[in-house]
Amino acid sequence: MKKIQYVIMMFLAGFWLSSCTGPVSETTKTEDAPVIGKPDLVLNGDRMTPEALWAFGRVSGHEVSPDGKTILYGVSYYSIEQNKGNRELYVVDVDGGTGTRITNSAKSEFNELWRPDGKKIGFLSSESGSVQLWEMNPDGSDRTMITDIEGGITGFKYAPDQSKILYTKEIPIPNKFERLYEGLPKASGKLMDDLMYRHWDHWVENYSHVFYADYDGNKISNEKDIMEGEPYDSPLSPFGGMEQINWSPDSKTIAYTSKKLTGKAATLSTNSDIYLYNLENGETTNISEGMMGFDVAPVFSPDGTYIAWESMERDGYESDKNRLMVMNLITGMKTYVTKNLDQNAGNLCWVDDSQSILFTSDWHSRTHIYQYFIEDGNILQITEGMYDYKSVAQAGDRLVAIRNSIAEPAEIYAVELGNGDVKQLTYTNQELVDQLTMGKVEERWMKTFDGEDMLTLIIYPPHFDPAKKYPALLYCKGGPQGPLSQNFHYRWNYELMAANDYIIVAPNRRGVSGFGQAWQEQISGDYHGKSMQDYLTAIDEMAKEPYIDENRLGAVGASAGGYAVYYLAGIHEGRFKAFIAHDGIFNEEAQYLETEEMWFENWDKGGPFWEKDNKVAQEAYAHSPHKLVQNWDTPILIIHGGLDYRVVFTQGMTAFNAAVLRDVPAEFLFFPDENHWVLQPQNAILWQRTFFNWLDRWLK
């Protein structure tokens, strides 16, 4: 999949949120396809259904106008019938009120930004056939195409003084074997001689480069590639966005993120760096040189004195602590400002006075907004409650943030800087939420087998009756690192599972972030040990409850959670009556040579399986789930995507084949056009229907 398509798809999926940074015009309408709007609601009484889940509008972005009075954002709606989504732009006053839709197009608008003078809104759209930069008035009128760049662009940002625009564009990688293809225009073969030839869900055939151009308010000119001739990406593929590239306040410098490695070296290393490109002399400086981990997302302070970024210390470890680094651009001094905070920092945003930085951080299954003060080094938690704050921006004396919870889809909120008071600003899904009864979410601490304290989330069915007996599902988190928090997911949705009369048990087992770096690191090299015992602790503890039927327990999970399901299938000793594994790792030795990000395998498995003297690696591979298949005796549903290049579909196929050969009841749901996720509406509905059909068959 090409990156332009990927960018659009991820925006529609609602995965990308921006960080710091009227009437509908007739000119926005197009005739090539019907505009997708709010879909009809399909409910089962007052309970969530798969169709209802796909009826939610997915809110993303919160760009504050230069005068601090208006928020620009997007909402994606999906049509199951058309099997696609559409994202439209809205504005709402920072004091709240009814959001006003300002676009009405069959082509999605994304990467929306206020022009620095506040008189125009810039955005990307493929209305012209390729993705280009457009502008319109703040009420949606006078829609005008600004760029006409061959092949389109993937992102953009205005210079603060509005004299220039930077943008990102795909550059084809020269085919070193081109002579072999002469006279063979229909040849489909891909010839390669190095690694990193495909990544996540696409074959690597392009680089993403950063360009800038002069801008006169109507068009751009004098385009320049600041990475000309370099075989590297910026932003980083496949998940990096425009948060990885920023202007300095004086519009004279572009800071960008890049991992300047190729081939085998790129597959083995996570070492990305922060580069400063000087527009006046054309020189590039690496300001994180010698910092060997993952350095991304540079943000200049408003006064230009500092630059902050997210930084990991160790090369090859993609789940290292995400540190907040600050560099004084005058003295060159770098400071690791969250050294005494055993938490991750992300979504950086400077406060207007350049004396503090806002960021988000997950802790104990919640993600909140924090503020670091340069003068005394103090860190203050601003928000609280059972929520995930996904991003943050400043609007005068208040903050603007996107927030969701397990029971609430994302909306935009205002947060008072002084006291943390919160006010909801958008109500995109209120009509739908009002018709649904959500299950209660409970936090329960448990003692693990080795005496540690573990937080487990319990989600109960709507109208829960403690006098009844319910089946329960153990949710096995993917990752294997990262947070298990208050996310409102559009596939693994806890409330949807609970609406089908299952009690959901979601433990923060070893490897989950938000409980200190030591807890998170205990899973590396030990997928099969402490984390598996943590899963069993959680389900065994809950099975003691009188309202849970210990004879109707299931386990479900994806990716590393799929690994967990495969492994539990070999060791559970009759606890579970049904399993579901999505995109899971089944054969660790095969996975090592099938995947593309070798740094991940080397860190989490300890190295390749052929290093016979490597005790950590040998221990990990000795406990590959496929070596326990002789113990499988419980029905299992296996799901996999054909475009998943992180965990290739043969992992799911071989697990299914093994189950059938063992005479274990099994089904295999294969999506040839999906990657590590399921993003198309009809495929997602099929996923949900198959999911619950399988569970209901064996647990009810």
Phi first, then psi: what are they for 569, rounded to 5°? -60, -25
Beta strands in 583-686 (DSSP E): 636-641, 666-671
Amino acid at residue number 126: S
Does residue 463 fall inside a structural domain? yes
Does residue 69 fall inside a structural domain? yes
Number of domains in the chain: 2
pLDDT value for 42:
65
pLDDT value for 34:
63
pLDDT value for 24:
32
Residue entry with tokens 């709007």: 37
> Exposed e or buried b for every residue in 411-437, given b needs 16+ CB within 10 A?
bbbbbebeebebeebbbbbeebeeebe
Show Cβ contacts of residue 562 under 8 Å, excluding neighbours closer than 6 positions: 476, 478, 581, 582, 583, 584, 585, 647, 652
- Name the stretches of the chain with pLDDT < 70: 1-35, 37-43
Query: What residues does 404 pair with on adjacent strands?
Result: 388
pLDDT value for 35:
64
For the chain, give the number of residues.
Answer: 700
* Model confidence pLDDT, tens digit, residues 511-556: 999 999 999 999 999 999 999 999 999 999 999 999 999 999 999 9
Q: In the sheet that 503-507 helps form, which strands lie side by side, from edge to edge?
A: 441-447, 453-459, 503-507, 470-476, 548-558, 578-582, 636-641, 666-671
pLDDT value for 41:
64
| Helical (H) or strand (E) element with 327 | strand 323-328
Instruction: Indicate the burial class of 141 (C-beta count within 10 angstroms; 0-12, 13-18, 19 or more).
Output: middle
Does residue 488 fall inside a structural domain? yes
Three-state DSSP at 406 gives coil
Q: Which two tokens stand for residue 6?
A: 């990927």
Does residue 519 fall inside a structural domain? yes
| 249 closest CA partner among 171, 184, 159, 167 | 159
Catalytic residues: 559, 644, 676
- Which domain CATH number covers 521? 3.40.50.1820
Domain span including residue 543: 437-699
Q: Are strands 284-286 and 100-101 parallel, antiparallel or unpaired?
A: unpaired
Does residue 304 fall inside a structural domain? no
| Rounded CA separation 696/501 (Å) | 10
Does residue 292 fall inside a structural domain? no
Does residue 247 fall inside a structural domain? no
| Orientation angle between helical segments 560-571 and 530-543, nearest 10 degrees | 70
pLDDT value for 18:
35
Dihedral, CA of residue 601, residue 605, residue 608 and residue 609, to nearest 10:
-130
* Cα 489 from chain centroid (whole Å): 11
| 538 closest CA partner among 503, 513, 505 | 505
pLDDT value for 22:
33
Q: Are strands 636-641 and 220-225 parallel, antiparallel or unpaired?
A: unpaired
- Which domain CATH number covers 131? 2.120.10
Q: Which two tokens stand for residue 34?
A: 């019907």
Does residue 79 fall inside a structural domain? yes
Show Cβ contacts of residue 234 under 8 Å, excluding neighbours closer than 6 positions: 168, 208, 209, 210, 227, 240, 244, 245, 256, 257, 258, 275
| Rounded CA separation 161/163 (Å) | 6
Categorise residue 544: left if φ over 0, alpha if ψ from -120 to 50, beta otherwise. alpha
Q: Are strands 284-286 and 453-459 parallel, antiparallel or unpaired?
A: unpaired
* Model confidence pLDDT, tens digit, residues 385-403: 999 999 999 999 899 999 9
Q: Taking a C-beta distance cutoff of 8 angstroms, is the pair 232, 262 a contact?
A: yes
Q: Which two tokens stand for residue 521?
A: 């690191």
Residue 58: Cβ within 10 Å count: 23
